[in-house]
C-alpha cells in the first residue's frame, strides 16, 4: 500500500503537525490563568505534559520511543477529556 518513500514523507509531515498542536496547547496555559485558574491547575499540568510528550516525539528518531510517546500522548488526551477539561469552569 505504501512504499518506503511515501511512508517517510508521511512520518515527516506527521511530525511537523506536532508544532501547531504544541503551540495551541501553550497558548491555553496563560488563557487558563487569565480565566481564573492558578498556574499549577490540573488543566495546565496536562497541557504542559502534552507539549513535553509531543517534543519527545518530534526530537527522537528511534521509532520505538516515538511510538511510546504517541501512546502516552493519546493516554494524556483521554485523561484530559474525561477528568480535567470536562470539569465546570475549565476551558
Residue with the larger pLDDT of the pair 32 and 79: 79
Q: Is residue 91 part of a domain?
A: no
pLDDT value at residue 52: 94
Q: Is residue 63 part of a domain?
A: yes
Give start and end residues of each alpha helix (H) in 36-91: 42-59, 63-79
pLDDT value at residue 16: 83
Domain that residue 66 falls in: 4-84
Q: Is residue 89 part of a domain?
A: no
Closest to 90 (Cα-Cα) out of 32, 19, 26 = 32
Q: How many domains does the chain contain in total?
A: 1
Q: What's the chain's length in residues?
A: 91
Distance of alpha carbon 19 from its chain centroid, rounded?
10
Q: Is residue 9 part of a domain?
A: yes
Q: For a pLDDT cut of 90, what percent of the chain falls above it?
A: 38
Q: pLDDT digit string (tens) for 70-88?
A: 999 999 999 999 998 887 7
Whole-model pTM: value is 0.77
Cα dihedral across residues 5, 9, 76, 45: positive or negative:
positive
Amino acid at each position: 500500500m505504501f512504499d518506503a518513500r511515501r511512508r517517510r514523507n508521511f512520518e515527516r509531515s506527521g511530525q511537523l503537525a506536532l508544532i501547531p498542536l504544541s503551540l495551541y496547547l501553550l497558548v491555553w496555559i496563560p488563557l487558563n490563568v487569565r480565566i481564573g485558574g492558578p498556574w499549577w491547575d490540573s488543566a495546565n499540568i496536562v497541557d504542559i505534559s502534552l507539549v513535553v510528550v509531543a517534543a519527545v516525539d518530534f526530537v527522537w528518531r528511534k521509532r520505538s520511543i516515538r511510538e511510546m510517546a504517541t501512546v502516552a500522548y493519546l493516554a494524556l488526551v483521554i485523561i484530559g477529556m474525561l477528568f480535567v477539561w470536562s470539569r465546570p469552569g475549565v476551558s
